[in-house]
Chains A and B, each alone.
Chain A
């Protein structure tokens, strides 16, 4: 009997080892890397944890390294790269003040024409960037509103029916009330594209009539009317 229990000892030890090796999975460890300096080279890449590469940097510099490439706002005054459209690369002239808001509403007009393609592009951006608050139809009934997190979001077809595009652009650029600035997420062209779709929502979701080239007929006549008045 005693010899039998002694025989069991190495078996117990072996089973222990098998179980042990099975449960060593630490979610905090990326696992083995073949030549870590190829994974984490000296060239700056977003969010690469240089702190782990003691070969290239050493521990004294790693804390500083990690500070350098963490989330930062764009440098003040930097202009987003816009390869083929200089009208979208100009600095925004109106200041972030109540007076600037009013002035933008009075003076600012869209550099984009109202076309079918622009409205569709704008709708894609609207669906991704705006619906969680403003709702699919722009009635202020997005999920954040339904879940009680943000209330009183005005409806485009109701309270904001007559909001001029300049005010929309100003709000997208600087934010207004609870809404923050979306300038870091939407470049200038994106902002004007979204506004093209919001104009449709102001009209109760009804698309304007298009001619064969996809240009809105109404806006063309309205523009013609405006120029006639200016003359």
Chain B
């Protein structure tokens, strides 16, 4: 009985709904609320992604303009004005509609005018269908970054140093072994006494060790020789390692992953380290450069919001409203505010030349035309920055034409001058070198002694003064 009534009410409701729908379809006039029904979601999604997604989200989240969730409940100004508002916001604002006026007052000052969109009324209908019922937000393409490898992992925090544990175990082992030997000796002495023999003589460990050594002279000599040789080798290696910092990879305040940025998302080295082309320093990007992408990318795949949140804290960005804060904590600014007193991110310098060495990135990158990888290795496979090893850089010779294979450790003087000796200067790269070349060849102006440089038809950096002390030390 109940079932029948339920069925009955459902049929009745269906009838009423279809009647209303038919009425709506029949009435050609811009009926109130018609734009919210019957749009094509798929087409709407395509249109939304092409035209709206750079500023709006379908959720409540603010990107560069308010999120569109619940727009149907908020928009009370009729269909025609909605279409006009999208097609030409400034014209729609002149209509004097109170809701539109409130939007203009509240948002245009912060985000600017929405640019006029070339969409038809039917398009708007499709877009609204998508905005009201967005399918599950598609995850970033699964294929993204599968070709990208990361050669190292970021260090796990609070990791114990295994060598310390090894040392503790070693000491423990020694203590146990020595006590066992002592017990052994006492027991043997007691056995001797019980048999009526004299007890073992009372001797210190040192005396006993000395006796043992005299008894095993050949063995002790061999071990001694080994210890001395080992100490010499280790000492030599230690001395040669002074000032060599290959493989230095300090922890950084942000768990930055180069491979995600450079390989997956194809951000050029220069985008962040832009001053490499203009200055002696390649530089670490200031937070406003990070924000050029991270205004939109608020969540990392690996660390979620924690690591990206550190940028926001430093520059004063509020991810909820998509705006910046000023010193007083007021939100709503589209650009970073100078008076926001955030603590800068304290990056640790990885490549450090001694203070008495002059080095300029600009000279090597702009004039020399070197790839970053020639000296820094395959950075697009790193996590945080580290000082590359020469043998790793040498492996890249097939990928980077012109890369010079070297033998000395990176960032040592031997490494610098080895490369200056091998690297050829392209005379076409700069008028300066062309002029120098002409002077060398010219019989009247050229120096006989210098002309031998031209015998092998190559001009190296060394031959143009790259081995002069004062090139780098002054």
Give the residue name and chain of the B residue nearest to A22 (CB). Answer: B163
A152 to B248, CA, bound (A): 41
A40 to B357, CA, bound (A): 12
Give the residue name and chain of the B residue nearest to A21 (CB). Answer: B234
**Are B271 and A129 neighbours in the complex by a CB distance under 8 Å?**
yes
Give the residue name and chain of the B residue nearest to A136 (CB). Answer: B266
Shortest C-beta distance, A186 to chain B (Å), equals 8
A192 sits at the interface (CB 8 A): no
Given contacts A73-B286, A180-B295, contact A31 B245 (CB under 8 A): yes
A9 sits at the interface (CB 8 A): yes
Among A114-122, A169-177, A197-205, which stretch is in contact with chain B?
Answer: A169-177
**Are A23 and B49 neighbours in the complex by a CB distance under 8 Å?**
no
Given contacts A23-B162, A27-B250, A96-B334, contact A46 B296 (CB under 8 A): no
Considering only CB atoms and an 8 Å cut-off, how many residues of chain A contact the other chain?
78
B50 sits at the interface (CB 8 A): yes
B249 sits at the interface (CB 8 A): yes
**Are B241 and A70 neighbours in the complex by a CB distance under 8 Å?**
no
The digit string for B323-342, where 1 denotes a CB below 8 A from any CB of A, is 00000000000111010000
Give the residue name and chain of the A residue nearest to B286 (CB). Answer: A71
A148 sits at the interface (CB 8 A): yes
Shortest C-beta distance, B104 to chain A (Å), equals 10
A43 sits at the interface (CB 8 A): yes
A66 to B346, CA, bound (A): 7
Among B13-21, B51-59, B80-88, which stretch is in contact with chain A?
Answer: B51-59
A150 sits at the interface (CB 8 A): yes
Given contacts A47-B349, A147-B141, A180-B288, contact A174 B335 (CB under 8 A): yes
**Are B163 and A181 neighbours in the complex by a CB distance under 8 Å?**
no
B459 sits at the interface (CB 8 A): no
A30 to B244, CA, bound (A): 8
A39 to B411, CA, bound (A): 13
**Are A16 and B170 neighbours in the complex by a CB distance under 8 Å?**
yes
Shortest C-beta distance, B93 to chain A (Å), equals 12
Given contacts A28-B251, A152-B50, contact A38 B356 (CB under 8 A): yes
Those of A151-184 within 8 Å (CB) of chain B: 151-154, 159, 174-182, 184
**Are A149 and B352 neighbours in the complex by a CB distance under 8 Å?**
no
A109 sits at the interface (CB 8 A): no
B284 sits at the interface (CB 8 A): yes
Partner among B51, B241, B338 whose Cβ is within 8 Å of the Cβ of A73: B338
Q: Which residues of A lie under 8 Å from residue B196 when comparing CB positions?
A: none
B1 sits at the interface (CB 8 A): no
The digit string for B126-149, where 1 denotes a CB below 8 A from any CB of A, is 000000000000111100110000
Those of B245-285 within 8 Å (CB) of chain A: 245, 247-251, 264-268, 270-271, 274, 281, 283-285
**Are A128 and B268 neighbours in the complex by a CB distance under 8 Å?**
yes
A149 to B265, CA, bound (A): 9
Shortest C-beta distance, B211 to chain A (Å), equals 12
Among B94-102, B219-227, B430-438, B443-451, which stretch is in contact with chain A?
Answer: B219-227
B121 sits at the interface (CB 8 A): no
A76 to B339, CA, bound (A): 10
A229 sits at the interface (CB 8 A): no
B403 sits at the interface (CB 8 A): no
Q: Which residues of B lie under 8 Å from residue A179 when comparing CB positions?
A: 292
A132 sits at the interface (CB 8 A): yes
Give the residue name and chain of the B residue nearest to A48 (CB). Answer: B349
Most chain A CB within a 10 A radius of its CB, from B48, B181, B248, B354: B354
Shortest C-beta distance, B127 to chain A (Å), equals 12
Q: Which residues of B lie under 8 Å from residue A38 when comparing CB positions?
A: 354-356
Shortest C-beta distance, A171 to chain B (Å), equals 10
A27 to B270, CA, bound (A): 26
A97 to B355, CA, bound (A): 45
Give the residue name and chain of the A residue nearest to B50 (CB). Answer: A152
Those of A36-59 within 8 Å (CB) of chain B: 38-41, 43, 45-49
Given contacts A71-B344, A151-B54, contact A20 B166 (CB under 8 A): yes
B177 sits at the interface (CB 8 A): yes
B386 sits at the interface (CB 8 A): yes
A28 to B167, CA, bound (A): 21
Q: Which residues of A lie under 8 Å from residue B400 when comparing CB positions?
A: none
The digit string for A111-140, where 1 denotes a CB below 8 A from any CB of B, is 000000000000000011101110000000
**Are B170 and A31 neighbours in the complex by a CB distance under 8 Å?**
no
A112 to B100, CA, bound (A): 41
B243 sits at the interface (CB 8 A): yes
A20 to B166, CA, bound (A): 8
Partner among B54, B167, B242, B287 whose Cβ is within 8 Å of the Cβ of A178: B54
**Are A71 and B284 neighbours in the complex by a CB distance under 8 Å?**
yes
Given contacts A70-B345, A72-B344, contact A142 B177 (CB under 8 A): no
A31 to B350, CA, bound (A): 12
B214 sits at the interface (CB 8 A): no
A2 sits at the interface (CB 8 A): yes
13 extra A-B contacts, CB within 8 A, seeds A9-B177, A144-B265: A14-B223, A30-B352, A38-B354, A43-B355, A47-B348, A71-B347, A73-B288, A128-B270, A129-B274, A149-B265, A152-B49, A177-B54, A185-B271
What would 23 A/B residue contacts be, using CB atoms closer than 8 Å? A11-B223, A13-B170, A13-B174, A14-B223, A14-B226, A16-B170, A18-B230, A31-B245, A34-B242, A47-B284, A48-B352, A66-B346, A70-B345, A96-B334, A132-B265, A132-B267, A148-B138, A148-B141, A149-B296, A149-B297, A174-B335, A177-B54, A180-B292
Residues of A within 8 A of B (CB): 2, 6-7, 9-14, 16, 18-21, 23-34, 38-41, 43, 45-49, 66-67, 70-73, 76, 96-98, 101, 127-129, 131-133, 142-144, 146-154, 159, 174-182, 184-186
| Shortest beta-carbon contacts, A-B, top 9 | A152-B53, A152-B54, A151-B53, A70-B344, A143-B266, A148-B140, A41-B355, A180-B292, A47-B349
